[in-house]
Chain A
Amino acid sequence: MDVVISQAFTGASYGAALLLIALGLSLTFGQMGVINMAHGEFLMAGAYSAYLTQKLVTNADFSLVLAIPIAFCVAGLLGLLLEVLVISRMYHRALDTLLVTFGVSLVLQQAAKDLFGAQAKAVEAPGWLDGQIPVLGYRYPLSQMFILVLAIACLAGMAALLKYTGFGRQIRATVQNRDLAETVGVSTRRIDRLTFFIGSGLAGVAGVAVTLITATESTMGSEYIIWAFLVVVAGGIGQIKGAVIAAFGLGIMRAFLTYWTDGSMAVVLTFLIVVAFLQLRPQGLFAVRTRSLA
């Protein structure tokens, strides 16, 4: 029983981080069908923002919180730049965006290495995240709880944005039928840019969270990118509730598989299970209903 509880919590921690990373993707990938391989590098940009913020503020207790909006803006602006300069030229070529953004991710990785050096940077966790609180007999680390809370906050913010604001309605309209949205006066170009800004910004926020888990260095994004895409695909493209279930499902599955087998086999089995699942439900957990043939 202890095992079940501890692995459920550890898995939920993996899942929370995955969800944060995948949230932004579910916007950019779901909204525009842009397969942004540089999403992981936006995460890296967020992590380095946290590092720089900490260097400037020097107070670790405060800098982490301050870093969240900064990382959001830094990564968001990078995303906006990418959208305007590159991706806007290649709508209707969805698969090609994958390759272009892969090139962008290589360039960003090397640029980060030249700017910050190859050696990983140390981002210290704030003192108030030291310690654990007992939940059901499990000592749940405060830093993991922070990531979970941050993920839920971003999720709630995004859900509210999509559901209750005019901008959100426009996004949903564009996802469901781009031409019709255009016809009723939605500027889909503007929606695209804004969505890309927010989606990339969320990757930056994820980057801040990830500094609590792992090393801040130039290739950190590549560890997460395939996981994040799998979450979005398994959840159903453009479906936030699907992404939530998929992220926690994958995280918890990975934790238990790691417990029973080993770290490498857990990766193998998790991926195979997702691939098998997609055979059963090719559209993921939840599908957007459209009338288009393709």
Chain B
Amino acid sequence: MTDTMTQPIEVSAPPRAPRRSPLRAYLPLVGIAVLAVFLLVIAPAALSSFRLNNLGKYCCYAIAAVGIGLAWGRGGMLVLGQGLFFGIGAYAMGMHLKLEAAGPDAVPDFMMNFGSGVLPAWWEPFRSGPFTILAIVVIPAVVAGVLGLAVFKRRIKGAYFAILSQALTVAFAALLVSQIKYTGGQTGLNSLSTFFGYNLYDPVNKQMIYFIAAGLLVVMLLVTFQLYRSRFGELLVATRDAEERVRFLGYDPANIKVVAFVIAAVMASIGGAMFVPMAGLINPREVSALASIMLIAGVALGGRASLLGPAIGALAVGYGRTSLSESFPDQWTYFLGGLFIVVILFIPNGLTSVIPKAWRALASTQRTRTKVGEAA
């Protein structure tokens, strides 16, 4: 990859000296701004309430995908089990909304049917909104921190790590299923009615929830942009490409990986938390191995190592899944499977790596003079 001026978005192969061209370094911001305008201005104006709500769900997947891009694309850790953290955030939010739906001093319906009818002590704090929001950030961070330290300090990586993280997700889903009196079992937490006091089925509130999800996606992208520009971002890429050299230079690669893993986990958790008011429920299927791999699909499609690729890919996979299954109810699995094969095999850096190339090819054939600003 060369430092030509016509690569507005691509960051999959970071320039060796990013500070040489200050203007270029901010190009991803233009991309984020375009995406923000699309999500926050154009989409709400153009889409029906039903489609907008769907787009909101894809935004939740995209938030998780941004984290996967960080851990996998930049850090080289194939996080196959992000469903675990998506689920932690979703269940934390689900518990709060379920208690809201039950009303003060009341117990969720499934606890009446399957449990003793007494709220377990560890459910009690989730009555509080602020506690729930804190939990959505802190619990996945702690879980990922402990897990990451255990795994990366022991230098477990590659396939081992991927399979371990997937096994943990499966175990978590099985745990949710088996503890029906605490978690609602296979059916999960459903019949939610409000979101921090606002009726979930009022179209205006639905739009508000959409704006929060889409806004959070933009914020996550900005955070990630900043991380990629920092020393940490450079160390992360260095660890991915040559872990031993990083170690010889005096850094502990395990610590760098743990930090990236924790950030990815928190992002997945936030995505999961916002998914719940959008879907109106959460159940173990959203935590499953399949759900985790669907997240990976979006990241791979968009371009794992780029900033915007994972988010755009996740939005595209979400949209494709809905529209293909509407047009071809029993055939869409072929599309999904084919997508994995074609993208990974032929465009491993994702669609966002193809666009600048195509642009370059176009530009060179037409011999047009392209300025950086116009390229985006």
Q: Indicate if A touches B (C-beta under 8 A).
A: yes
Give the interface of A toward B (CB within 8 A): 29, 33, 35, 86, 89-90, 93-96, 98-100, 102-107, 109-110, 113, 226, 229-230, 233, 237, 262-265, 267-268, 271-272, 274-275, 278-279, 282, 293-294
Cβ-defined partner of A267 (8 Å) among B78, B174, B297, B300: B174
**Contact in complex: A279, B171 (CB < 8 Å):** no
Cα A29 to Cα B178 in complex, Å, equals 32
Cα A106 to Cα B321 in complex, Å, equals 14
User: Does B345 interact with chain A (Cβ within 8 Å)?
Assistant: yes
User: Does B15 interact with chain A (Cβ within 8 Å)?
Assistant: no
Cβ-defined partner of A226 (8 Å) among B166, B331, B333: B166
* Cβ-Cβ contact count across A and B, 8 Å cutoff: 118
Closest to A273 in B: B171
Cα A272 to Cα B84 in complex, Å, equals 14
**Contact in complex: B164, A105 (CB < 8 Å):** no
Within the complex, the shortest CB–CB distance from A45 to chain B, in Å, comes to 15
Q: Which of B225-233, B311-319, B334-342 contacts A (4 or more CB under 8 A)?
A: B334-342
Within the complex, the shortest CB–CB distance from B331 to chain A, in Å, comes to 7
Within the complex, the shortest CB–CB distance from A19 to chain B, in Å, comes to 18
Cα A169 to Cα B359 in complex, Å, equals 51
User: Does B162 interact with chain A (Cβ within 8 Å)?
Assistant: yes
Q: Which residues of chain A come closer than 8 Å to B163, judged between CB atoms?
A: 35, 226, 229-230, 233
As a 0/1 sequence over residues 121 to 158 of chain B, the CB contacts with chain A under 8 angstroms (1 = contact) are 00000000000000000000000000000110011101
Cα A109 to Cα B336 in complex, Å, equals 12
Q: Given the known inter-chain contacts A95-B158, A230-B167, A271-B170, please indicate yes or no for A106 contacting B177, CB distance below 8 A.
A: no
Cα A102 to Cα B166 in complex, Å, equals 13
28 A–B contacts from the bound complex (CB under 8 Å): A94-B158, A95-B159, A95-B162, A99-B293, A100-B341, A100-B345, A103-B338, A103-B340, A105-B337, A107-B338, A107-B341, A226-B163, A226-B166, A229-B166, A233-B160, A264-B175, A265-B174, A265-B178, A267-B170, A268-B171, A272-B168, A274-B167, A275-B168, A278-B156, A278-B164, A279-B151, A279-B154, A282-B156
Within the complex, the shortest CB–CB distance from A84 to chain B, in Å, comes to 13
**Contact in complex: A272, B348 (CB < 8 Å):** no
**Contact in complex: A96, B158 (CB < 8 Å):** no
Cβ-defined partner of A99 (8 Å) among B167, B177, B344: B344
The 10 nearest A-B residue pairs measured at CB? A103-B340, A264-B178, A106-B337, A107-B337, A271-B171, A110-B333, A103-B341, A267-B174, A103-B337, A282-B154
Q: Which residues of chain A come closer than 8 Å to B270, judged between CB atoms?
A: none
**Contact in complex: A275, B164 (CB < 8 Å):** yes
Q: Given the known inter-chain contacts A99-B300, A103-B340, A104-B337, please indicate yes or no for A264 contacting B160, CB distance below 8 A.
A: no
Q: Given the known inter-chain contacts A264-B175, A268-B174, A294-B244, please indicate yes or no for A226 contacting B162, CB distance below 8 A.
A: no
Closest to B336 in A: A106
User: Does B192 interact with chain A (Cβ within 8 Å)?
Assistant: no
Cα A229 to Cα B175 in complex, Å, equals 20
Q: Given the known inter-chain contacts A104-B337, A109-B333, A264-B175, please indicate yes or no for A95 contacting B164, CB distance below 8 A.
A: no
As a 0/1 sequence over residues 216 to 229 of chain B, the CB contacts with chain A under 8 angstroms (1 = contact) are 00000000000000
Q: Chain B's interface: helix, strand, loop or mixed, by majority? A: helix
Q: Which residues of chain A come closer than 8 Å to B333, judged between CB atoms?
A: 106-107, 109-110
Q: Which residues of chain B come closer than 8 Å to A263, judged between CB atoms?
A: 178
Q: Given the known inter-chain contacts A110-B331, A268-B178, A275-B164, please indicate yes or no for A98 contacting B345, CB distance below 8 A.
A: no
- Further 13 A-B residue pairs, CB within 8 A, beyond A103-B338, A264-B174: A29-B159, A33-B159, A94-B159, A96-B348, A103-B337, A106-B334, A230-B167, A265-B178, A271-B170, A272-B171, A279-B150, A279-B154, A282-B155
Chain B stretch 78-136: residues in CB contact (< 8 A) with chain A: 78, 80
**Contact in complex: A226, B170 (CB < 8 Å):** yes
Closest to B348 in A: A96
Within the complex, the shortest CB–CB distance from A270 to chain B, in Å, comes to 8
User: Does B289 interact with chain A (Cβ within 8 Å)?
Assistant: yes
As a 0/1 sequence over residues 52 to 79 of chain B, the CB contacts with chain A under 8 angstroms (1 = contact) are 0000000000000000000000000010
Q: Which residues of chain A come closer than 8 Å to B178, judged between CB atoms?
A: 262-265, 268
Cα A135 to Cα B27 in complex, Å, equals 73
User: Does B296 interact with chain A (Cβ within 8 Å)?
Assistant: yes
Cα A271 to Cα B175 in complex, Å, equals 11
Within the complex, the shortest CB–CB distance from B239 to chain A, in Å, comes to 13
As a 0/1 sequence over residues 325 to 365 of chain B, the CB contacts with chain A under 8 angstroms (1 = contact) are 00000110110111111001100100000000000000000
Q: Which residues of chain A come closer than 8 Å to B158, judged between CB atoms?
A: 94-95
Cβ-defined partner of B340 (8 Å) among A33, A95, A100, A230: A100
Within the complex, the shortest CB–CB distance from A40 to chain B, in Å, comes to 12
Within the complex, the shortest CB–CB distance from B136 to chain A, in Å, comes to 23
Q: Which residues of chain A come closer than 8 Å to B162, judged between CB atoms?
A: 35, 95, 98
